[in-house]
Amino acid sequence: MMNKPEKLVLVGNGMAGVRTIEHVLKLAPGAYDMTVFGAEPHPNYNRIMLSKVLAGGTDMKDIIINDRDWYAENGIRLFTGDAVASIDTVHRKVVSASGVVSDYDKLIIATGSNPFMLPLPGVRKEGVIGFRDIHDCEMMIEASKKYKKAAVIGGGLLGLEAARGLLNLGMDVTVVHLNKYLMERQLDPPASEMLQRELEAQGMSFLLEKQTAAITGKRRADGLEFSDGSRLQADLIVMAVGILPNVELAKSAGLQVNRGIVVNDFLETSVPGIYAVGECAEHRGIAYGLVAPLYEQGAVLAKHLAGVETSGYAGSVTSTKLKVSGVDVFSAGMFNDAPDTRSLRYQDDIEGVYKKIVMKGERMIGAVLFGDTSDGTSLFSLIKSGESVTGREKELLLGYPAGQTSASPLARLEAYSVDEIICGCNGVTKGRIMEAIADGCSTVGKIKACTKASGSCGGCRPEVEGLLSIYGGEGAGEPVKEGICGCTTMDRDEIIEKIKEMHLVSVKEVMNVLGWNEPEGCSKCRPALNYYLGMLWPSEYKDEKESRFTNERFHANIQKDGTYSVVPRVYGGVTSPADLKRIAAVAEKYDVPMVKFTGGQRLDLLGVKKEDLPKIWEELDMPSGHAYGKALRTVKTCVGSTFCRFGTQDSIGMGIQMEKAFERLNTPAKVKLAVSGCPRNCAEATIKDLGVVAIDGGWEIYVGGNGGVKVRESELLCTVKTEEDVMEWTGAYLQYYRETANWNERTSVWIERIDLDEVKAALESREERLALVSRIEETLSYTTDPWKEIIDNPELRKNFMPLAEAGTGEGLGARRS
């Protein structure tokens, strides 16, 4: 009999706690019944990227690490916007602010930290905020719409990132700092001065060695008053002077607390069964605020919870490698000079490069890099290892051996050992990235998805790109250029460019003008040219039936015995008694051997004789479901809010609307859509070419999925509020796919080739989306159901049977124009 899973509760839905959970799921799947409480109303997101959200280059959806589907897929109960209010350590249960009670066998406290707000007169005035979460970003963005002058108190990393974001929002920004130098915890004075000059050139102002005495103003802040009596006018005051571990919950539960929650090497607190990890924890007297140590703690705690042997957490040697307002900065270890240390420096004020390494005895103990941080990874590795660097000091400082004048970044990367940490945030080694590349990760995006390298602060992206270029072979990271066939040396892009440039309007004309080797073409190029011409000239081009495959010409799928399957359209999987009777009557009349429900919520009449196809379609009097075509196949739906108690939106209505809007649409390859009425995703929307998932107050649109031979989970394209928004984004997305994909290229392959970011950029502008929608609507205005054409036009119907006699195998028939 299997052991019943223990109950594991995580208090805090941030990066450290959820990373711990991720490790536990891998090390001991099924060992725990998990519940997660988060104070913020969002799923787990990357707090490091908040400055990019503030700066306007990134949306909230782009910094989500684990979306709500991830929790559901892993059986984790998630309560967002519901902080835990109390812990009962005797009966082992937690109670949330909303009254949710959850028992636990093991409890992880990962409550993070709070921004430290200086205890100044006026600190509670309107217009005074910290910079710690997405809500703070939203407040600053709103303030920037009304006010123009901002003051940021604190010249550390967080303060400078806030200042950069406010500059991007069009505000006049002054940074107030108590110290003589900016970022004194990460940079020595020369590097700090270089950084200040760069930021001043960007438009930032600084007041250094200034102590704020009070925040002035009545109800809303209108400026700062300093201890020397001087003043600064400001409509928005942002405090970025540090963080304090969030320990109130632990303290009220009776856990031992100093500055943080006291933990041992296994992250255990003073109360059995309760652990703490992340910024709220204090280990050997240190509370860490950088992500890499927090992830190291999480890895140790996960092993302990999974019963995997571990030596415990011994503390972290920290490093900082990031981009501060567009400037690359790296520091590690003890980089300030001391009486028992020696240092080497290189400074180039013209190029904006500064390097410094600090030695103690034979060991390197610290380093600072500014402007060029390419050697940061290898220097940090030497600092941690403690090996002797005697005789190599100049080589390490300059990045190349004595006697040489330079060394390429790729040469340095190639020289790294496989154990070298490339991504400090996520602990990813060079060897792990090499494995991912060998397993087929041919772009930085794929490497990030597989290993998480470059997925946090992004500082290691150049190294990841370099490793990809070294070990990925030719074409790594580049779109794969496919020649269309053996009949021509021209690829898809060249052909389309020539068709547009010379206004070619028929398959034969394209072949003649562009010098096809085979005058009649082949089964690869003829369907491709037929699609490209129809996509480019929807009003002029007449679809060439003879350039389509057998299934598309007969509007049915040929089976292995030579019979066909007929699939009428059933919008959104919703039918009626009348349609069911009609299908049943046709099946009986023509002695159809099998009637089967398909995976796309339709009925399939299998075993139909070829000569019966026209009459069956006529008597069904239903649109074709295009189960045979490179077109929209189905829009799968769940019952949504119409009947389901979990449904948040009308998924049936949304699915039917989408299917009716885009039926008959020719696409480069088959396209399947789905609409789920809630994040439980019963319609499997996240493995479709495009899937829509209903959420409270809106819809999430996912793209690039595939449930076929090579399963691919779709990726979040956007979150929208209304059904009209869904239709607009869907139409724009499908048309962009139609215009940029290779013929016979599924969306899952296409989106990996061109990258989701390119698609997002192409659809970002509403003006461009509406232009794409206009083009898809124009195309659809010239299409009709193929069987309607045959039934309603005697000439077409008369010609159908001779056309059918052309052949029964897959591929093109012998008939040519």
3-state SS track over 477-537: CCCCCCEEECCEEEEHHHHHHHHHHHCCCCHHHHHHHCCCCCCCCCCCHHHHHHHHHHHHC
Q: How many CB atoms lie within 10 A of CB 200?
A: 11
What CATH code is assigned to 6-114+245-306? 3.50.50.60
CA–CA distance, 160 with 523 (Å, rounded to integer):
60
Instruction: Please determine, for residue 679, whether its predicted confidence score (pLDDT) is greater than 70.
Output: yes
CA distance to 54, 82, 246, 250, 473, per residue, from 113 (Å): 20, 17, 4, 13, 44
Instruction: Please determine, for residue 801, whether its predicted confidence score (pLDDT) is greater than 70.
Output: no
CA–CA distance, 743 with 547 (Å, rounded to integer):
13
Please write the tens of the pLDDT for every residue from 46-55: 887 787 788 7
Same fold, 6-114+245-306 and 128-241: yes
Q: What mean pLDDT do residues 238-253 have?
A: 95
Q: What mean pLDDT do residues 27-44 have?
A: 94
CA–CA distance, 23 with 41 (Å, rounded to integer):
24
Enumerate residues 6+ apart whose C-beta is below 8 A from 339.
none
The letter for the amino acid at 116 is F
Please write the tens of the pLDDT for every residue from 528-558: 898 899 899 988 888 887 777 667 766 777 7
Q: What is the largest CA-CA distance in the chain?
A: 100
Tell me, what's the pLDDT at 365? 93
The answer regarding whether domain 408-476 maps to CATH 1.10.10.1100 reads yes
CA–CA distance, 18 with 704 (Å, rounded to integer):
26
CA–CA distance, 726 with 654 (Å, rounded to integer):
9
Could you tell me the pLDDT band of residue 703, with boundaries at 50, 70 and 90?
Answer: very high
Tell me, what's the pLDDT at 244? 93
Q: How many CB atoms lie within 10 A of CB 181?
A: 18
CA–CA distance, 74 with 774 (Å, rounded to integer):
41
Q: Which of 684, 686, 682 is nearest to 701 (CA)?
A: 686
Q: Are strands 205-208 and 172-177 parallel, antiparallel or unpaired?
A: parallel
CA–CA distance, 101 with 136 (Å, rounded to integer):
29
Average pLDDT, the chain: 85
Tell me, what's the pLDDT at 476? 56
CA–CA distance, 613 with 607 (Å, rounded to integer):
11
The strand order across the sheet containing 564-566 reads 557-558, 564-566, 603-608, 594-597
The answer regarding whether domain 128-241 maps to CATH 1.10.1270.20 reads no
What CATH code is assigned to 625-784? 3.30.413.10
Phi and psi at residue 758, in whole multiples of 5°? -65, -40
CA–CA distance, 26 with 720 (Å, rounded to integer):
33
Higher pLDDT among residues 433 and 797, named by residue: 433
Return the CA Rg of the chain: 32
User: What is residue 110's three-state secondary structure?
Assistant: coil
The token duo for 507 is 């398959």
Q: How many CB atoms lie within 10 A of CB 246?
A: 20
What CATH code is assigned to 317-407? 3.30.390.30
Highest mean pLDDT among 95-109, 388-402, 601-615, 796-810: 95-109
Which position has the token pair 């028939």? 813
Higher pLDDT among residues 175 and 604, named by residue: 175
CA–CA distance, 544 with 50 (Å, rounded to integer):
53
Could you tell me the pLDDT band of residue 57, with boundaries at 50, 70 and 90?
Answer: low
Could you tell me the pLDDT band of residue 284, with boundaries at 50, 70 and 90?
Answer: very high
What is the number of helices (H) and of strands (E) in the chain? 28, 40
Q: Which residues pair with 485 in a beta bridge?
A: 488
Instruction: Please determine, for residue 400, whether its predicted confidence score (pLDDT) is greater than 60.
Output: no
Phi and psi at residue 293, in whole multiples of 5°? -60, -35
The three-state (H, E, C) secondary structure of 62-120, written as one string: HHEEECHHHHHHCCCEEECCCCEEEEECCCCEEEECCCCEEECCEEEECCCEEECCCCC
Q: What mean pLDDT do residues 710-736 have?
A: 93
Q: What mean pLDDT do residues 519-534 have?
A: 83
